[in-house]
Amino acid sequence: MNLTLNNVERGRLGTSLAPEVNAPPVIWETSREQVDYSFALERMENLASGICNGEEPERVWLLEHSPLYTAGTSAKGSDLLEANKFPVFKAGRGGEYTYHGPGQRVCYCMLNLNKRERDVRAYVSALETWVINTLAQFNVKGQRREDRVGVWVQRPDKKPLSNGDTREDKIAAIGVRVRRWVTFHGISINLEPDLEHYSGIIPCGISEHGVTSLVDLGLPVTMENLDVALKQEFENLFGPVEIVS
**CB of 12 within 8 A of CB of 120?**
no
Parallel, antiparallel or unpaired: strands 104-110 and 148-154: unpaired
Residue 107 among the catalytic residues? no
3-state SS assignment for residue 145: strand
Parallel, antiparallel or unpaired: strands 168-179 and 210-211: parallel
Which one, of 50, 97, 102, lies nearest residue 71 by Cα?
97
Strands (E), the chain: 26-30, 59-63, 68-71, 88-90, 97-100, 104-110, 143-145, 148-154, 168-179, 182-190, 210-211, 241-244
**CB of 108 within 8 A of CB of 184?**
yes
3-state SS assignment for residue 124: helix
Per the residue annotation, which of 52, 107, 109, 204 is the catalytic one? 204
**CB of 170 within 8 A of CB of 212?**
yes
39 burial level (CB within 10 Å; 0-12, 13-18, 19+): exposed
Active site residues: 204
